[in-house]
Chain A
Amino acid sequence: MRKTSLDMVQEMALRDPRILFIGSDLGPDTLKELKVQRPKQFLMEGVSEANIVSMAAGMAMEGWIPYINTIATFLTRRCFEQIVLDLGLHKTKVRLIASGGGLVYAPLGPTHLAIDDIAILRTVPNMTILAPCDADEMRRLMLLTPDVDGPVYIRLGKGGDPVVSRAEPACEIGKAILLREPGDALIVTTGVCLQVALAAAAELGKAGISAGVLHCHTLKPLDADAILKHAAPVVVTIEEHILIGGLGGAVAEILLGAGRAPRFARIGIPDAFADQYGSQASLMARYSITSENLAATVTRLLNQTHK
């Protein structure tokens, strides 16, 4: 997914002179072709993320469309005020490509776990937040990013994630995609948790339970219309993010705000720093962000409903 995202920046920059890539301190082979062919559109500016974000805002105000890439935690926590003021308030067309969204950097510990990025950035007016589920969807969304007004945050998964997205229906920023029709239940998800959701829905289907899957690749603006349209008697959200301020809370706000009160549960990361290393998969399992737990949660809520 990261490779696709950066390749897309290169591809777009080679045909659009407004597009500029800015890295902090990335691998020596990063976007070599762009650096050679369009040296003015390639910058590598060192471990100075706050300056990079504000400087990119200045360039955006001069008509450039900068795409910044570095590790997600450094791009969100460290630069939060630069993001709020120089990207949000100025409504600049700066794109933040965040490596290692969620639990990807499990072996590297809490400093590198971007488990709060969506909560942080949802608070910023004018911000668009994207969390594609796989490389194919990343490609489709990246093509749309140059035209978005204001800043865009692009959350990257680990890479090599199974491709589950479809080219149809047409990908549109701010529009959730229904991958499976709801009946008894609706699962709402984002990012690579779509894979988990689809696996759970398939398992539930074998048990005779029809669980829909709504994939929100855009977390801001969140597609309230689709959530309300497809909400079933049971709604369960699943995300690779802390439960505070994430997708689940946002979905609950939308449902309750519209006077809807389905049986509801959120699956995500608890309010605690990670106490283990391991892998993305092992931490997902530790937090029960799994198809088994998702299917069990849907089943439990359905049984409650039937009482």
Chain B
Amino acid sequence: MADVLDQRSKELRRMIVRALAAGKRGHVGAAFSVVEILRALYDDILKYDAKNPRWEDRDRCILSKGHGCLALYALLADKGFFPEAELEKFCASDGILGGHPEYKKVPGVEASTGSLGHGMSIGAGFALSAKLKEQAHRVFVILGDGECSEGTIWEAALFAAKHQLANLTILVDYNKQQTYGAIAEVQGLEPLIDKWEAFGFAVGEVDGHDIDQLRDVLSMVPFEPRKPNAIICHTVKGRGVSYTEGNLGWHHKARVSEAEAASLLAALDTE
């Protein structure tokens, strides 16, 4: 794992903190965990047109762990799907960016998520549609590791394998922590790679904060011509600031003070 984040990863986190400060709340740990996964997708992999978010031939990307939406908002703002000033209205009554992303409100958001266990099935529907219509675009769905406890994930996995949805790629943000504590203690997932393989997926495994690794593995999908893909991304919850990393206190933070936000920004500048 890269010890020090590069300037782009730090700047994306600064955008997250600015939105967090504006809304005075947010899932910091979940957002910091998924930044590089989203960055690799939006910088190097996905086809899209920020000025025409519903462009028919775009790749579809669903953040099924919707509570990580601050990271998605930072990427979408950075790419011009909406003005960066929207981040300053995070969770505001006149804003479009809520604590979970909404399909009908936010340009670039492909599905309203927030209740876990929905995004993969919706993405499987997108992927089957593309296959039946012989369209070339692809579908990427980012799952939380805690989310993998939901039964619908595995219903969708059966479905994706049956229909040989090689155009569907699941990325698991595997930071190994959930709200209450360690995944291994709350509801263990291991052996996670074996599970996805047993469900008929071709599986990759990367450091989920290493842009080069992410870009390389995402460039290789489909791993096999007739199998859906799963990529286990090993991440650190709260990655980017020493005192948020692995700190369950930052999974979700309400009443974020100006001093706390300033401290996060300072840490991103100096660490």
Residues of B within 8 A of A40 (CB): 132
B122 and A58 within 8 A (CB): yes
B122 and A55 within 8 A (CB): yes
Bound-state CA distance A46–B126 (Å) is 19
Q: Which residue of B lies closest to A84 (CB)?
A: B115
B42 within 8 A of A: no
B155 and A51 within 8 A (CB): yes
Bound-state CA distance A62–B123 (Å) is 11
B232 within 8 A of A: no
Residues of A within 8 A of B (CB): 40, 45-46, 48, 50-51, 53-64, 81-82, 85-86, 89-91
Residue of A58, A81, A90 near B115 (CB, 8 A) is A81
A55 and B111 within 8 A (CB): no
**Could you tell me the distance in whole angstroms from the C-beta of A75 to the nearest C-beta in chain B?**
15
Q: Which residue of A lies closest to B139 (CB)?
A: A58
**Could you tell me the distance in whole angstroms from the C-beta of A212 to the nearest C-beta in chain B?**
42
- A89-B112 in contact given A48-B158, A50-B152, A51-B152 (Cβ < 8 Å): yes
Residue of B112, B121, B126 near A90 (CB, 8 A) is B112
Judged by DSSP, the binding face of B is helix
A59 and B125 within 8 A (CB): yes
Residues of B within 8 A of A53 (CB): 121
Bound-state CA distance A60–B128 (Å) is 11
Bound-state CA distance A172–B126 (Å) is 32
Q: Which residue of A lies closest to B128 (CB)?
A: A59
Q: A40-B132, A54-B156, A62-B130 are in contact. List 5 more A-B contacts (CB 8 A).
A: A48-B155, A50-B117, A62-B126, A62-B133, A85-B115
Residues of B within 8 A of A50 (CB): 117, 121, 151-152, 155
Bound-state CA distance A46–B162 (Å) is 11
- A58-B124 in contact given A90-B103, A90-B104 (Cβ < 8 Å): yes
- A58-B123 in contact given A82-B118, A90-B111, A90-B112 (Cβ < 8 Å): yes
**Could you tell me the distance in whole angstroms from the C-beta of A232 to the nearest C-beta in chain B?**
43
**B81-117 residues at the A interface, CB under 8 angstroms:** 102-104, 111-112, 115, 117
Residue of A48, A58, A85, A89 near B125 (CB, 8 A) is A58
A86 and B132 within 8 A (CB): no
For the complex of A and B, 9 pairs with smallest distance between CB atoms? A58-B125, A54-B121, A51-B155, A62-B129, A48-B155, A58-B122, A55-B125, A59-B125, A51-B121
Bound-state CA distance A62–B127 (Å) is 10
B112 and A55 within 8 A (CB): no
A58 and B103 within 8 A (CB): no
B128 and A86 within 8 A (CB): no
9 pairs of residues in contact across A and B, judged by CB atoms under 8 Å: A48-B158, A53-B121, A55-B128, A58-B121, A58-B128, A58-B129, A61-B125, A63-B129, A86-B111
**Could you tell me the distance in whole angstroms from the C-beta of B176 to the nearest C-beta in chain A?**
26
Residues of A within 8 A of B129 (CB): 58-59, 62-64
**Could you tell me the distance in whole angstroms from the C-beta of B117 to the nearest C-beta in chain A?**
8
Bound-state CA distance A86–B123 (Å) is 12
Interface centre among B102, B111, B122 (most CB of A within 10 A): B122
**Could you tell me the distance in whole angstroms from the C-beta of A68 to the nearest C-beta in chain B?**
12
**Could you tell me the distance in whole angstroms from the C-beta of B147 to the nearest C-beta in chain A?**
14
B199 within 8 A of A: no
Encoded as 1 (CB less than 8 Å from any A CB) or 0, chain B from 133 to 177 comes to 100000000000000000110011011001000000000000000
Interface centre among A45, A48, A51, A54 (most CB of B within 10 A): A51
Bound-state CA distance A57–B103 (Å) is 12
Residues of B within 8 A of A48 (CB): 155, 158-159
Residues of A within 8 A of B117 (CB): 50
Bound-state CA distance A60–B103 (Å) is 14
Bound-state CA distance A63–B133 (Å) is 11
Encoded as 1 (CB less than 8 Å from any A CB) or 0, chain B from 29 to 61 comes to 000000000000000000000000000000000
Q: Which residue of A lies closest to B118 (CB)?
A: A54
Q: Which residue of A lies closest to B129 (CB)?
A: A62
- A46-B118 in contact given A54-B125, A58-B124, A62-B129 (Cβ < 8 Å): no
Q: Which residue of A lies closest to B130 (CB)?
A: A62
B122 and A57 within 8 A (CB): yes
Q: Which residue of A lies closest to B54 (CB)?
A: A61
Bound-state CA distance A179–B6 (Å) is 74
Residues of A within 8 A of B126 (CB): 58-59, 61-62
Residues of A within 8 A of B104 (CB): 90-91
Q: Which residue of A lies closest to B134 (CB)?
A: A40
Q: Which residue of A lies closest to B156 (CB)?
A: A51
Q: Which residue of A lies closest to B151 (CB)?
A: A50
Bound-state CA distance A56–B156 (Å) is 12
**Could you tell me the distance in whole angstroms from the C-beta of B122 to the nearest C-beta in chain A?**
4
Residues of A within 8 A of B103 (CB): 61, 89-90
**Could you tell me the distance in whole angstroms from the C-beta of A57 to the nearest C-beta in chain B?**
6
Q: Which residue of B lies closest to A91 (CB)?
A: B104
**Could you tell me the distance in whole angstroms from the C-beta of A262 to the nearest C-beta in chain B?**
41
Bound-state CA distance A9–B227 (Å) is 31
Bound-state CA distance A58–B123 (Å) is 6
B115 and A55 within 8 A (CB): no
Bound-state CA distance A39–B132 (Å) is 10
- A54-B112 in contact given A40-B132, A59-B129 (Cβ < 8 Å): no
Residues of B within 8 A of A60 (CB): 125
